[in-house]
Structure formats: C-alpha cells, structure tokens
Amino acid sequence: MFFRNTEHRRRFQSLRKSELFPLLNLSEAYAAAVFLLASDAFLWKQSKDFIDQSSIHFKDIRIHGVDLDGYAIFHTARDMYYGTDHTAISELSDPELISDKLLRLIINAFLIRRHGIAAVPT
C-alpha cells in the first residue's frame, strides 16, 4: 500500500488533480513533503493553510498536540523539503519509534523525493 490509508489517498489524489499546487509536478521535494503532511489528518489540518503554490511555510505550522507518528512525519517532511538531515537514520530504523507501516510511508515519500510525482500510483 503506497498511501497510509484511504483518506490519505483521497486527500493527496484530490490535491494532485486540483492543479492548485503546480509544484507537485515540478518539485520533488515539495511533492514528498505534501505527500507526508497529507498522510496525517491532524498535521494536514495544521499545515494546509501554510502550503501555497510556491512553498511550504514550515516555520508557521504549529504541531502542538501531535502524536509520535505525526511528529516523525512532520520532521521528515521538513527534512525532505529543505534537504536537511535532522531526522537520523538511527531514529527511522528504531522500531520502538517508527512502526513498519510508518517506515513504508516514509520510504514512499523518499521515492517521490527521488523520482517525483510519477512515483505515486494513480
């Protein structure tokens, strides 16, 4: 399963089809970050107003109250977007921090970061 759940699939595919976010097709980093942020209902609610056609304003997104998965998703999305490496491989590989399902989601985001939106099944 490429998406976290059916709601994630619906949300991301809707964004993709809306053409309101042209960078989904032009920037692998933008697409990977949006893919991750859209995977969590709480994170999406907190971040959608800070994503526009040209950028994601991570500094304005408030994640107070997010669960551990959401925390990992947010920071991984930010790292993918900015090309930073604040999230360590040791953290991603720790099964006590990152479940297998969440790791698969993050790996799929890495595929998007590397190959662009074409990596996402329709």
d(CA 33, CA 77): 4
Domain of 42? 6-116
**Nearest Cα residue to 3 out of 89, 118, 107:** 107
Residue 52 included in any domain: yes
pTM over 0.75: yes
Residue 47 included in any domain: yes
**Nearest Cα residue to 37 out of 112, 100, 90, 96:** 112
Residue 121 included in any domain: no
Residue 122 included in any domain: no
Residue 89 pLDDT class (50, 70, 90 cuts): confident
CB 72 within 8 A of CB 98: yes
Residue 20 pLDDT class (50, 70, 90 cuts): confident
Task: Check pLDDT > 90 for residue 122.
Answer: no
| Residue 109: predicted pLDDT | 97
d(CA 2, CA 74): 18
Q: What is the pLDDT of residues 45-77, one digit of tens each?
A: 999 999 998 999 999 999 999 999 999 999 999
Residue 11 included in any domain: yes
Specify the residue for token string 């089809």. 17
Number of compact structural domains in the chain: 1
